[in-house]
A = this chain, B = another copy of it.
Amino acid sequence: MSGQKHGPVYGRVALIGLGLIASSMFWAMKRAGLAGEVTGYARSAETRATARRIGLCDRVCDSAQEAVQDADLVVLCVPVGAMGPVMEDIAPLLKPGATVSDVGSVKRHVIDAVQPHIPEGVHFVPAHPLAGTEHSGPESGFSELFDNRWSLLVPVEGTDPDATARLRALWEGMGANVDEMDADHHDLVLAVTSHTPHLIAYTMVGVADDLRRVTDSEVIKYSAAGFRDFTRIAASDPTMWRDVFLTNKDATLEILGRFTEELFALQRAIRTGDGEHLHDYFTRTRAIRRGIIEAGQDTDAPDFGRGQKK
């Protein structure tokens, strides 16, 4: 899929919020010629100035209202907690027949916050691309971000199938594989595969930072031994992640509860010297890794984490 030239899927696309995902969408749409014109808006004047400087979006607008005018597709690329207010703001200016989508990491909350403001005759197709880096801001995007990654569409009841199909074509054109999923199931799956792991990584990095007897420079110097992957995860955008945890509270707390339960069982095995329990557990977790490699979501190169990343 990647690198191929498509015809335009939408005449005009408006990106509201110009961070990592929106800027990657812009470059990915340009790469494949998926949109006639892309407008963009960011709340911060500094972000808008940066976007203009680096040619991010065909036209950077000074208001969200201006950006969405005549847009066939409006994509909300703001933190999950800001989706509702932004939607309320732009609702009166949406073109009849337009589609509103988003890229939020939580879907039930976004649907509850956005759906009530969707005008009659406008389609709403929530989405979530499972792709990211630890970087944020308008300069962090790149056209390959979505290549061979999943983008989940979470259509709400009554969504026009044609609107969903068109959004699917856009994501496929940007290199992604597309699946559809129910909102509540999405939030649970993401709590397991993303939200709870992030919280845990943040916590572990915080513990290291707190510990007086191990200096920061030691933590940093010797991070290659496992900790480095945690710091990478824990470097993601704080506002985005705050909103994720506040809005996917129930699923995150449930998975955290299970996590604590299992951790306590392993902790007890360490305390009592139960090597068999530890060995069995560590053997079982290995299989999951093999599944991921077979599913093509990572490489099996023997020097992981050390080679140059292109």
Contact = CB atoms under 8 A, between A and B. Distances in A.
Interface string A124-135: 000000111111
Interface in A243-282: 243, 245-246, 249, 252-253, 255-256, 258-260, 262-263, 266-267, 269-271, 273, 275, 278-279, 281-282
Contact of A298 (B219, B232, B253, B281): B232
Interface stretch (A36-44, A52-60, A208-216): A208-216
A307 B309 contact: yes
Nearest to A239: B279
A231 interface: yes
Interface in A272-310: 273, 275, 278-279, 281-286, 288-292, 295, 297-299, 301-310
Contacts of A278: 238, 241-242, 245-246
A193 interface: yes
B281 A202 contact: yes
Nearest to A197: B226
A142 B238 contact: no
Contacts of A298: 223, 228, 232, 305
* Copies per complex of this chain: 2
Interface stretch (A64-72, A83-91, A95-103, A144-152): A144-152
A133 B227 contact: no
A188 B203 CA distance: 18
Given A279-B239, A288-B208, A219 B193 contact: yes
Contacts of A201: 226, 229
B256 A295 contact: no
Contacts of A271: 249, 253
A134 B306 CA distance: 12
A262 B223 CA distance: 20
A23 to B, nearest CB: 10
A192 B209 CA distance: 10
B226 A211 contact: no
B270 A216 contact: no
A207 interface: yes
A220 interface: yes
A304 B309 contact: yes
Contacts of A214: 188-189, 192-193
Contact of A297 (B152, B223, B281): B223
Given A193-B227, A256-B267, 4 more contacts: A130-B224, A135-B302, A188-B213, A249-B271
10 contacts: A133-B305, A179-B221, A193-B218, A194-B226, A224-B297, A234-B288, A241-B278, A243-B275, A249-B273, A305-B309
In order of increasing CB-CB distance, the 4 nearest A-B pairs are A235-B289, A194-B225, A238-B282, A307-B310
